[in-house]
């Protein structure tokens, strides 16, 4: 009886030891070294159905990254994708247009994981609008010009020039940054680059090699050169129309090394000029509270005031669409209000206010093509259908709160210069 009890006791102890060993094998050890959390999560909407996410990988022991997404329909976060170790980007596709999505990312290893990255919200673009490419750099108070088709030159207000190769629009490439000898108010270009430099007047650069600009000439102006437009003049050279405080200076650049002032316009009824756009035989001025002015420039040396028209809210920036030198023409005007005004200037001597469109608070740049107007304002770019000038209609919108300074249309692309660089968009009406 005593032996049987002892044998039973031994069996019980062996059984307990085996169970303990088995439990130890099946229970994973506690990992005291979980992955570091990813950081700097950013998101960019590239189309109506896709968002690109990027982040910093701060860990060296993760097995994969988990991307979590939340939308307005589900209202809860769920994993939308797991990516291999060392991943730093992910394109989320198949999304709804004009819809907001929230994201965060975390690093994971076996049964442990990092804390979450920062959380972001991104809204997909409207249908028909896509972001083609981005070149990132800091360019406050930016303006831009198109050089020889393949290059965009972005000028920051502090005088830095950023040449960007856009021969492949999806992958714009930033070249060598050049420092101009002073602040730059505006830039224009064709074969050469022309800079409005405030009290320094106008400077002309050769940028055949955009990475190595060469100063060719300069021209002092009597006031403050704040804006300019280059107009080609065949068979050679051309003219620069320079906004110069209370006057418009017309500079002959046939001799690039020695540009000279060929014409001057000023009028006591127009105490301040803010912008100029040049048509085939006329120039159009934005004159603040004095509205717009139409100039006959057939005689470059003596431009003549043809007419003037007050605009509700004044005139800050403008663009023109002309069918022929003396044919149908419209001027599109923005100012400190939230509206764009369309002026029928077909009869240049008697301009008439036409359609008006709401474009958002703080409009700061405008460009007009055959059927659409592109207006940069505080929150982005609004696209207006102007095929019927009497009744402009909202068409689309691109969000950008980085203070767009300039907008150009080239080769079917929308080019935006803002504080964070250059953005290349494409709009295909649905």
Cα 64 to Cα 2, 87, 325, distances in angstroms = 60, 8, 64
Q: What is the model's pLDDT at position 25?
A: 34
Rounded to the nearest 5°, which phi and psi values hold at 367? Answer: -145, 135
pTM score, whole prediction:
0.86
Separation between Cα atoms, residue 185 and residue 159, nearest integer Å: 8
Average confidence (pLDDT) per 10 residues, the chain, 430 residues: 44 42 42 88 96 97 96 88 97 95 96 95 95 96 92 96 96 96 95 96 94 94 96 75 97 95 96 95 96 96 96 96 85 95 97 95 93 94 96 95 94 95 94
CB 245 within 8 A of CB 285: no
Contact 124, 101 (CB under 8 A): yes
What pLDDT is attached to residue 23? 37
Q: How far apart are CA 365 and CA 377, in angstroms?
A: 7
Domains for the chain: give ranges and CATH numbers. Answer: 39-123 (2.60.40.10), 132-427 (2.130.10.10)
Query: 3-class SS at 383?
Result: strand
Residue 1: per-residue pLDDT: 44
């Amino acid at each position: 009886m005593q032996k049987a009890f002892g044998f039973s006791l031994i069996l019980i102890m062996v059984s307990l030891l085996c169970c303990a060993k088995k439990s130890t094998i099946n229970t994973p050890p506690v990992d005291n070294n979980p992955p570091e959390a990813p950081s700097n999560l950013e998101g960019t909407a590239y189309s109506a159905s896709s968002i690109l996410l990027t982040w910093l990988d701060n860990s060296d022991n993760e097995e994969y990254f988990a991307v979590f997404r939340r939308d307005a329909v589900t209202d809860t976060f769920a994993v939308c994708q797991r990516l291999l170790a060392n991943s730093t980007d992910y394109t989320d596709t198949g999304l709804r247009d004009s819809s907001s999505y929230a994201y965060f990312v975390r690093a994971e290893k076996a049964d442990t994981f990092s804390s979450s990255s920062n959380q972001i919200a991104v809204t997909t673009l409207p249908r028909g609008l896509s972001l083609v490419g981005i070149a990132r750099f800091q360019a406050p108070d930016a303006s831009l010009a198109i050089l020889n088709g393949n290059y965009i030159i972005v000028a920051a207000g502090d005088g830095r020039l950023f040449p960007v190769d856009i021969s492949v629009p999806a992958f714009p490439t930033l070249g060598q940054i050049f420092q101009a000898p002073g602040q730059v108010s505006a830039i224009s270009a064709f074969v050469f680059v022309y800079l409005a430099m405030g009290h320094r007047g106008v400077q002309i650069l050769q940028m055949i090699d955009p990475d190595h600009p060469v100063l060719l000439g300069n021209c002092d102006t009597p006031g403050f050169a704040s804006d300019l437009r280059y107009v080609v003049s065949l068979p050679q050279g051309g003219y620069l129309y320079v906004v110069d405080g209370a006057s418009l200076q017309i500079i002959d650049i046939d001799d690039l090394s020695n540009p000279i002032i060929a014409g001057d316009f000023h009028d006591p009824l127009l105490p301040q000029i803010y912008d100029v756009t040049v048509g085939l035989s006329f120039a159009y001025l934005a004159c603040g509270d004095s509205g717009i002015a139409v100039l006959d420039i057939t005689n470059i040396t003596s431009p003549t005031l043809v007419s003037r028209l007050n605009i509700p809210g004044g005139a800050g920036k403008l663009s023109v669409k002309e069918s022929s030198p003396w044919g149908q023409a419209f001027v599109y005007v923005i100012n400190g209000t939230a509206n764009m005004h369309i002026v029928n200037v077909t009869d240049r001597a008697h301009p008439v206010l036409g359609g008006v469109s709401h474009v958002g608070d703080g409009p700061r740049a405008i460009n007009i093509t055959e059927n659409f107007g592109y207006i940069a304002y505080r929150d982005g770019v609004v696209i207006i259908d102007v095929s019927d000038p009497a009744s402009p209609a909202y068409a689309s919108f691109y969000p950008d709160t980085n203070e767009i300074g300039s907008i150009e249309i080239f080769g079917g692309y929308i080019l935006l210069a803002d504080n964070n660089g250059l953005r290349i968009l494409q709009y295909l009406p649905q």
